[in-house]
A and B are shown apart, each in its own frame.
Chain A
Amino acid sequence: MSTTEPSTYTPDIPSDPITKTTDTVHVELTPHALDSLAATKFVRSPSAGATVLFIGTTRNSFANLPVSSLSYTSYAPLALSTLSQIATTILAKHECEKIWISHKLGECPIGEESIVIAVSSKHRQAAWRAGEEALEETKRRAEIWKLERFEGGEGVWRANRDGVMGVKIEEGKEEGTRGR
């Protein structure tokens, strides 16, 4: 593919967090570091006996290739509405008390949080299940894209659905590969 975009691609990232909050649901896209403590505090409830917290962090390799940096871009208004729909549906389905989903945008240094999900429920089983489902649905549907840059400068847009390399971005090269 043509590479009019340099490998130093800088997506349009909002400078402030974008959030949607009700009494029981909080979804957020933010350029700042994710706050897992705020997530657990938000879902805390006197009627809940369990809180499950999931923290996704960025890994330093993909298919054994060293990843030097990652950044996330998003279609923020649509992604926020998708996250809100996912959260609301899961809350009702598993009869949970409260749910929080936040995702990082922009540069995310290796080893740092890229996604935080917290769910509270009366009993632990519902929260475990709801937390897992919230993560899987978010990965499947939220309009957020990860750009992985490998050591040596090559960048790749990942695609969750096929678990392969995605689209290569290499400066000054005319051809790229999909699904390598």
Chain B
Amino acid sequence: MASKKSPSGHFSILYFAAASTFTGKATEHLPAPVKASELFARLEERYAGIKEKVLSSCAVTVNLEYIDVEGDEVADLDRVIEEGDEVAIIPPVSSG
């Protein structure tokens, strides 16, 4: 999937599998910047129930790198998602 250019002041977010089903979208643009630690809360505001039903079992990538958005991982605690970033919601995988 090609990275989708986001309009100014926004980042793109990609939804896969169950996350795509829940939001009804494969991708959209959301206002940037946003603290990575607040991403799930931001999504919960838009899609009530998504945190418990979907996000709780999902990982998150920013520009193709995994980040820790919950818990005490010091490295990503102050991470900010910036304009133009490509964020992806990664549900448990099922290849093979």
Seen from chain A, the residues whose Cβ lies within 8 Å of a Cβ on chain B are: 1-5, 9, 11-12, 14, 56, 72-79, 81, 103, 114-115, 135, 138-147, 157-162, 166-167, 169, 176, 178
Contact = CB atoms under 8 A, between A and B. Distances in A.
B21 A9 contact: yes
Interface residues of B, number: 27
Contacts of A5: 20-21, 24
Nearest 10 A/B pairs, CB to CB: A4-B24, A159-B92, A144-B95, A145-B17, A158-B94, A167-B18, A139-B96, A146-B94, A5-B21, A157-B17
Contacts, number: 108
Contacts of B54: 1, 167
Which of B14, B26, B61 has most chain A Cβ within 10 Å? Answer: B26
Contact of B16 (A73, A77, A161): A73
Interface of B: 1, 3, 14, 16-18, 20-24, 26, 47, 49, 53-54, 57, 61, 64, 88, 90-96
